[in-house]
Structure 1
Amino acid sequence: MKNSVIALLFPLLGFFCVEAAGGSDSAPTGLRAGFAKTDITPEIPVKLYGYAARKTYSEGVHDPLSARAVAFENNGRKLLLVSTDLGSFGRDVFTVFQKSIMDRFNLRESEIFLSAIHNHSAPILTLNPERGDPNNIEYTKGLQKKLLDLIGEAFRNMQPVLTGTGTGASPVGVNRREMLPDGSITLGRNPYGVTDKEVLVLKIAAGDGNSLGALYDYATHCTSLGGSSMKISGDILGLSSQFVEKILGGKVITPAFAGASGNIDPWFRVLPGFNEEPGWIPEPVLLGTLLGEEVVHVYRGIKELKPGGEIRTSFETLECPRRETAADQAGAAQPQSPTIPVNITVASIGDDVAFVGFNVEMITEIGLEIKKGSPFRHTFIITHCNGSSGYLVPAEFYKEGGYEVTTTRFAIGSSDMVVKKALKMLYDLH
């Protein structure tokens, strides 16, 4: 009888140990993956992210905000990618969230991509009792628990998978560095400027071929709604994922990631709200649907699915020189560090697909340079990932000026440092 009880207990003990660790190092060989999705729409009015002119609370919800996660495991190596319909994770908030994720699921910092789609119709995240709004602090604390639950669900949902990758293109994003007659640069629409129109999709299916979900990457700000809009919304990428999941149906989950889009806005930008004129399709919905349809086209066009490959990960913090500002020259009250940290997170699945995460708002030319130099066939550039250090601009922009240059804290040459480091990390994994 005693032996029978022990025999019954061992499987149960094994189950709980795997759950606590987010996957066992003695897991079966072969790529496994699990998806999860949760609602993160604020239940109370909050201060909204992204436009300094906003002084009041949000006023209602147009469409829900979501967080989506996909967890991978192969032969004990893990990888976690989380997409949230939020603006960004500031350094203080990210540090708290990262530690809780690492501790709960026994993950290395190189195995975590915690990202935001840079949505300007979402709550500001803060845990600062002195400077943060109480409603936003309450929301952020609740978000931490929701994300931990979400990640746990993704790990529990892991199963053997097949993967395939495809690419398309979308005109939703446009270069926003518009040149005025006097030669100055303003925020507007520059249809002749550089853009990255690639829609990159990683399709993931169960061993029997049934779809589980897809990750996709596209370079655009989520700023179709402007500072006078006070409604909660997922904006372009959030609305796109909502559309894709509706069309694909079932339990398919499609996390979106913001590519290198520091100088890319939606074609229709900073609108005062959703136009409800009869017969009119509101621009955020129109653009989100347009992007979503291309994601679906690419997804359905991926016919070749393979068992996946080995997981490799790497993480480094690169200290880039800080730009001297007028406040520095005048003698700032608080001495500033001479450098600004750039967190670079690199991961690969097999020899064809890589992910590169940056805690910066990256100009699209920089992302294109990394894609071009990458040894991998497909490279996901994921910005607003694992923290937030502001705009990163290429050297030639400093002479041209414009909003991105005015607001960057990085000195000239920083972007070259980041490109070289990211490419070295990619080659080291390949």
Structure 2
Amino acid sequence: MLSQKAFMQFPASAVALLVGCLVWCSSGHAADAPFRAGAATANITPPLGEMVVGGWEPVPADEVHDELHVRAIVLDDGDTKLAIAICDNVGIPREVFDVAKAQVEATTGIPVKNQLYAATHTHSATTARGKNSMVKDEELSGYQIFLADRIVDAVRIANKRLEPARIGWGSVEEASELFNRRWYVVEEEQRRNPFGGVDEVRMNPSSSSTLIRPAGPVDPEVSYLALQALDGRPIAILGNYSLHYVGGVPSRVVSADYFAVFAEHLGGLLETETQYPPFVGILSNGTSGDVNNINFRDRSARYAPFEKMALVGQLIARRVHESLGEVQYQDWVKLGAQQSELTLKVRKPDAEMKAYLAGVVQRPEEEKPYHRHEKTYAARTATLSESPDTVDVPLQTLRIGDLGIAAVPFEVFTEIGLEIKDRCPLSDSFTIELAGGSYGYLPSPAQHELGGYETWMGTNRVQLDASEKIVERLMSMFDAIK
């Protein structure tokens, strides 16, 4: 050990270098621990005959247009590992993700709170939902078990493929494919709801509607996280875009929608077809609960099945690819994660609504209904009546350098996602919806005042100010890891 006298004889520059080294080492970034990344996919296509969801009634699959996948990345800063997996599914219950997370922790050591798993919200995939999203299923179905196992497989392979890597992130804007789907319309009949009332706005107004204006914004930002090997070989790109889905899939046909088109086309643009380990392109769903791909002011365009999803997925991939040259890659960034449980009240019908819906159920089939989906909502509200009074929902935040990722288990309205971006204390951020679970739509209190499909009890299932509580909790979680 150096004596004080000997230490004082060192040049000032050497002392500064020594102190800097001590501070750097104490930060938890060990000199011999490079930043690493790995990526993998696993096929989650169901057998034919499994029920496809996305419309009002599920139908059995009788054809597969393109395979469904879980796409995963694992990051490692030497002290902390993060796993992110995005699944081609409309919405996955918490219990499926929880089973996968427990198995991943047992096999890889990645803590549960450091694992973020989400659904893309394709409307042409097999259901993984249970009977009631407010109640955990005691036993998983065959497809739910298969899905959990395949998530584990993808993450384990990505973890096995960890290699020294460089990391960067960026964003571009592409507003041309985004349209808020909630509109003020003139016709009162267009604004009827299944509870005998009239709303202020209509979701997906018909072509005969007299449009006034959309009821909310869109978010044109395409955010992405890029990973490459030290020799420049692409490892993975995780994108994020706030577009519900595109569709154009015939009934009973399985498809991953534009999310998979993005992944495949981006790999082609990067010329990764023959590389090993394979490049993994991923597109997560942002906050798109009230945004879709329908231009309600001009519906003249016509597309063949699957054509529009291909156009949209390829466009977003091109936009990301064009901007990759601007990414500032780093050799190491700090990783962090927070997870929290938020207790929310479950919405329940009051006596007046119960009485009205009881009349709906008893109404003769030949009698014209007030609203064509009123019997569907009579059943949905009855399910909520039998649900617990509260539900605990999981929230997550990840830190990847100065990039923040929020994870919310709802179909989140775009205005809420924009607020999260605006308030996040990190320099860049985006939100992945339907992450950690699937609890229905999440409108803001202001949007609840307007009514419309996404706000109806049974479509939305939790207290009306839930979005405010979620945003506040996320901000405190970001503060804890910034």
Query: What range describes the TM-score normalised by the shorter chain of this pair?
Result: 0.7 to 0.9
Specify whether residues 27 and 360 from structure 1 end up closer, same or farther in structure 2 by C-alpha distance, changes over 3 A only. farther
Indicate the residue corresponding to 2:172 in structure 1. 168
Take 1:346 and 1:253, find their aligned partners in 2: how far apart are those partners?
A: 23
Equivalent of 1:180 in 172, 179, 185: 185
Take 1:41 and 1:274, find their aligned partners in 2: how far apart are those partners?
A: 25
Take 2:165 and 2:386, find their aligned partners in 1: how far apart are those partners?
A: 51
Counterpart check, 1:63 vs 2:92: no
Indicate the residue corresponding to 2:320 in structure 1. 295
- Give the match's secondary structure for 1:255: strand
Take 1:416 and 1:198, find their aligned partners in 2: how far apart are those partners?
A: 23
Specify whether residues 31 and 325 from structure 1 end up closer, same or farther in structure 2 by C-alpha distance, changes over 3 A only. farther
- Give the match's secondary structure for 2:55: coil
Indicate the residue corresponding to 1:370 in structure 2. 420
Indicate the residue corresponding to 1:348 in structure 2. 399
Deviation (angstroms), 1:354: 1.3
Deviation (angstroms), 1:127: 7.3
Give runs of aligned pairs for residues 18-417 of structure 1, distance below 5 A.
28-54=32-58, 56-125=59-128, 137-170=141-174, 171-182=176-187, 184=191, 185-188=201-204, 193-225=216-248, 229-250=251-272, 251-267=278-294, 275=304, 282-298=307-323, 300-326=324-350, 330=354, 335-350=386-401, 352-406=402-456, 407-417=459-469
Report if the CA contact (8 A) 2:101-2:152 is conserved.
no
Take 2:439 and 2:129, find their aligned partners in 1: how far apart are those partners?
A: 15
Deviation (angstroms), 1:204: 0.9
Report if the CA contact (8 A) 2:184-2:214 is conserved.
no
Indicate the residue corresponding to 1:429 in structure 2. 481
Deviation (angstroms), 1:142: 2.6
Take 2:436 and 2:252, find their aligned partners in 1: how far apart are those partners?
A: 27
Deviation (angstroms), 1:137: 3.8
Deviations 1:116-149 (A, max 9, x none): 1011111101578xxxxxxx94433333332222
| Greater Rg by CA | 2
Deviation (angstroms), 1:349: 1.6
Deviations 1:212-257 (A, max 9, x none): 121111111124236x622111112222222112222323211111
Amino acid at match of 1:265: N
- Give the match's secondary structure for 1:323: coil
Which stretch of structure 1 is more off in the superposition, 97-106 or 32-41?
97-106
Deviation (angstroms), 1:159: 1.1
Specify whether residues 148 and 255 from structure 1 end up closer, same or farther in structure 2 by C-alpha distance, changes over 3 A only. same
> Quick one: percent identity of the two aligned structures?
25
Take 1:267 and 1:427, find their aligned partners in 2: how far apart are those partners?
A: 37
Amino acid at match of 1:82: A
Amino acid at match of 2:79: G
Specify whether residues 365 and 28 from structure 1 end up closer, same or farther in structure 2 by C-alpha distance, changes over 3 A only. same
Deviations 1:279-333 (A, max 9, x none): xx821212222222212223x3334211131111110011123333248964968
Deviations 1:77-112 (A, max 9, x none): 110000111111113323323322232222322101
Deviations 1:351-406 (A, max 9, x none): x1111111111111111000000111211201111111111111111221001111
Specify whether residues 211 and 106 from structure 1 end up closer, same or farther in structure 2 by C-alpha distance, changes over 3 A only. same
Deviations 1:155-204 (A, max 9, x none): 01111111111110122221110222136322227668400110001111
- Give the match's secondary structure for 1:151: helix
TM-score by length of 2: 0.75
Take 1:326 and 1:265, find their aligned partners in 2: how far apart are those partners?
A: 32
Which stretch of structure 1 is more off in the superposition, 102-111 or 187-196?
187-196
Report if the CA contact (8 A) 1:33-1:70 is conserved.
yes
Moved over 6 A (4+): 189-192
Amino acid at match of 1:186: R
Report if the CA contact (8 A) 2:173-2:221 is conserved.
yes
Specify whether residues 255 and 307 from structure 1 end up closer, same or farther in structure 2 by C-alpha distance, changes over 3 A only. same
Report if the CA contact (8 A) 2:86-2:117 is conserved.
yes
Which stretch of structure 1 is more off in the superposition, 115-124 or 94-103?
94-103
- Gapped regions of structure 2 (runs ≥ 5): 1-28, 132-139, 192-200, 206-212, 273-277, 356-381
- Give the match's secondary structure for 2:48: coil
Amino acid at match of 1:385: A
